[in-house]
Structure 1
Amino acid sequence: MPKRVVITGMGVAAPNAVGLSNFNNALKQMKSGIRFFSQLQDLNFSCQIAGKPEISKELLNEYFTPLQLRGLNSSGIVYGVISGVDAWNDAGLDILETESPDWDSGIIFGTGILGVDKFREAIHLIDEGKTRRLGSTSVVQTMASGISAYLGGILGCGNQVTTNSSACTTGTEAILMGFERIQSGKAKRMLVGSCSDHGPYIWGGFDAMRILPNKYNDDPEKASRPMSESASGFVPGSGAGALVLEDLDSALERGARIYCEVLGGEVNSGGQRAEGSMTAANNEAVIRCIQNALKNSEVDPNEIDSINGHLTATTRDSVEIENWTRALNRRGEDFPYINSLKGMTGHCLSASGSIECIASVLEIYNEYIFGNLNGEDKHPDILKLIDAESIPDTKIERKINILAKASFGFGDVNAVTIFKRYIT
């Protein structure tokens, strides 16, 4: 029989809060983490605002030794290690100090690109003929699997330890990859998640594409406006999120706290056919992904209480809503609640899926639905499809039984995960 999979630990480094409790409070208070950065202004960016977790030196010293911090110049690794170790501790798991690793525990931790600032530093040193000054950690900081390697060594995991990369879909995909490994009995627990570097060398390409807002440099917190008529592009962000997935029997045996159950999901691609492209989703693929996620999870569309969408504050928001109505065959007042975290954090790129999944799980566990920041002027094309009440402007106290979380990424790749309240 397939194993049931539950979530027993979480950790997060998001633009609007670092640490799970802080993040939960930020969601309830609808706190924005989007700020102005003078560096972007100095570099002549059109969009001079972004979302970036605030990490103090004191906090860094709690997770890294002085030796590890020497030459560390990868923000994605910093965010990933903080969120991953926090998730492990939150699950009540020990960090092994033995010679033998934990053969039952593994890691799937994704990223888009890692160590861009370290790459830049390395290029200058190499071009100047100073290769020996690169240091011994330049490779691990710039290889994509550097984050899973870092965490694997810290936690002593002996099961599969790897990295996935699927643009904005990365974090949600990592959860489903870990889910399948546990469900099949190949692991008892998997630390899953994703991270993204911050800075101009990550965000510059998007600024060049003119898909970032440039009218809110003096009012950053108003800039990210999912499902809004006045939305003018997504605000770039960064950070990391991590979740401990565990075999239900293992969780019960050790008396672990259970946040919710993962019922299943689906990943697919639109093949960049029809209306699908490198930057836009194939609508048929999105609909199929949603419907197959429900089928794989044995959930009826009418059982969905809430949706945490991809919803980036672009012209694609109304198209995404239409795809949800077609996939669920629900519209108007029959449509479930739907929200987007990106109003508070911006679009955290490869970290977005994991951070937003954590927000979704917190909603289920703490019985509320967070409001959509800056969504007061709802797009008329969306209101033709669903009632305004389905898009809450403020927090709603409400018990959620089943929630669908979606991520749709560059390259026309999709992932949908179905979470359910755990009832003993």
Structure 2
Amino acid sequence: MKNRVVITGLGIVSPNGVGVEAFHSAIRYGKSGIRHFPELEELNFSCQIAAKPEVSEEQKRKYFTDLQLRNFNSSGILYGVMAGMEALEDAGIETAGKNDEPLWDLGIIFGTGTSGTAKFREAIYLLDSGKVKRLGSTTVAQTMASGISAYLGGMIGAGNQVTTNSSACATGTEAILMGYDLIASGKARQMLCGSCSDDGPVVWGGFDAMKVLTWKHNQDPEHGSRPMSTTASGFVPGSGAGALMLESLTSAQERGAKIYAEVLGGNVNNGGQRQQGSMTAPNSIAVKRCIKTALEVSGVEGHEIDYINGHLTATVKDPTEIRNWSEALGRKGADFPYVNSLKGMIGHGLAASGSMELVAAVLQLHHGFIFPNSNCEDLHPEISAIADRSRIPIQTVSHPLKTIAKASFGFGDVNACVIFRQNSI
């Protein structure tokens, strides 16, 4: 018998809202976090708009001392720590005291794509200048891939598995499923799971060079990210972090914890970069297999899915994604589930995208609404031929949700899908 797994805490550092309360309000009302960055214009980027969280000094100092911040230069770790600690606090779980034993039943799986790129850049400059002794004692911790989980592990006193995963844009969704497996199998009682991403030209430059970013909206940032739209012209780069506290149902009930939703299960697979799949394009056969397997292991039928939180990046692959969902679920037209994409408001957060979108999905499930699809007034004709316009709302819809799906698809042809159910316990 598997342990049942529930969500008892949420945390978010997003371009359109720092903290769950601000983020909840932002997505409900369609607030954009995308803006023009003069730095990108000066560097001759084709895409000069992006999305990054606006974090105040006061917010930073809630989790870091002045001494820590003096040599701190890792935006992804900053966002991840803030989101992770908020999820812990939201769940009502206290950190271990410095002289206490570690929290043996609490672990962390917090992913990232890159870590400390700005710190790397600073280190290279110092090394090239022959100033190796000025690198500082925290350079390694800020630039190692597992820096985010290590920082969180030390702040919390986590004693179970503490690690970092990395699967491109599927990282956050994969982290949730990894944490779910540990709790379901009895190897942990509580797992803090999420993902984060650095921001800035070093991270975003490669995508600009690939010509997958939009270049048509530099003077109109809020309308630049257009998932499922006929006039979509590429994604807007973003950053941030999302976190979810997963817990066994037994543990949550023993503590009298608030429960947002139950995690029913999910699946991770790979298209092998075969057939129509490649490093950057998904193999649709694998995508549909991932969704169907997620449903199967969750004990859910395709007709039970009320809502889909899509990956939907505002590229030419959006119609393909909707087609894959339709075929995997056996649903189309007015029978297609509600679907939306957070990227219309905050761009594509890369490794952080899955976790930020998971927080948005759980908030909608918990509060019974579907946030608007920003900039999707001109729905792509290939999508409208599959799903009824009413299922892709451009205004907020109040609607009770019971069972929902979230999927992420990343470079390397990796796929992840997770199924949630409204708390009826």
TM-score bucket (shorter structure): over 0.9
Residues 240-278 of structure 1, C-alpha deviation per residue, up to 9 Å, x if partnerless?
Answer: 001100000000000000000000000000000000000
Q: Which residue does 1:169 correspond to in 2?
A: 170
* Paired amino acid for 2:6: V
1:9-408 equivalent positions in 2, closer than 5 A: 9-97=9-97, 98-408=99-409
- Partner SS state of residue 31, structure 1: coil
- What is the letter of the counterpart of residue 67 of structure 2? L
What is the CA–CA distance in structure 1 between the aligned matches of 2:404 and 2:162, rounded to whole Å? 28
Aligned AA (2:121): R
The alpha carbon displacement at 1:5 in A equals 0.2
AA of the residue aligned to 2:19: G
Q: 2-side partners of 1:66 and 1:228: how far apart?
A: 45
Give the secondary-structure state (helix, strand or coil) at the position aligned to 2:109.
strand
- Cα distance in 1 for partners of 2:63, 2:37 equals 26
CA distance in 2: counterparts of 1:329 and 1:62, whole angstroms: 48
**Does the residue aligned with 2:237 lie in a helix, a strand or coil?**
coil
How far off is 1:333 after superposition? 1.1
Distance of 2:64 and 2:284 partners within structure 1: 44
Length-normalised TM-score, structure 2: 0.99
TM-score w.r.t. structure 1 length? 0.99
Can you list the C-alpha shifts for 1:354-413, whole angstroms capped at 9, x where unaligned? 000000000011111111000110000111111111101111001100000010001100
Q: Residue 22 of structure 1: CA displacement?
A: 0.4
Q: How far apart in 1 are the matches of 2:318 and 2:168?
A: 18
Identity %: 62
CA-to-partner distance for each residue in 1:301-341, whole Å, 9 max, x for gaps?
Answer: 00000000100000000000010111011111111111000
Deviations 1:187-215 (A, max 9, x none): 00000000000000000000001111111
SS, match of residue 62 in structure 1: coil
Which residue identity is paired with 1:13?
V
Structure 1 Cα separation of the partners of residues 70 and 219 of structure 2: 36
3-state SS, counterpart of residue 170 of structure 2:
helix
Distance (Å, rounded) in 2 between the aligned partners of 1:395 and 1:417: 23
Q: Name the CA distance, whole Å, in 2 between partners of 1:158 and 1:95.
A: 11
Q: CA deviation at 1:99?
A: 2.9
Aligned residues, how many? 424
> Could you say what secondary structure the match of 1:63 adopts?
coil
Q: AA paired with 1:101?
A: P
Question: How far did residue 52 of structure 1 move?
Answer: 0.3
Amino acid at match of 2:341: S
Q: Any idea what the Cα deviations from partners look like across 1:91-115, whole Å, max 9, x if unmatched?
A: 0011111331000000000000000
Rounded Cα–Cα distance in structure 2 between residues aligned with 1:214 and 1:335:
32
SS at match of 2:169: helix
Following the alignment from structure 1 to structure 2, what is the Cα–Cα distance between the partners of residues 37 and 191? 33
1:2 aligns with 2:2: yes
How big is the shift at 1:58? Answer: 1.3
Structure 1, gaps ≥5 residues long: none
Show structure 1 runs of 4+ deviating over 3 A.
Answer: none
Aligned to 1:360, the other structure's residue is in SS state helix
Provide the C-alpha distance between the structure 2 equivalents of 1:139 and 1:378, rounded to a whole number of angstroms. Answer: 47
Any idea what the Cα deviations from partners look like across 1:153-201, whole Å, max 9, x if unmatched?
0000000000000000000000000000000000000000000000000
Letter in 2 for 1:342: K
**1:160 & 1:61 partners in 2: Cα distance?**
27
Which amino acid is 2:306 matched to? D
Counterpart amino acid of residue 400 in structure 1: L
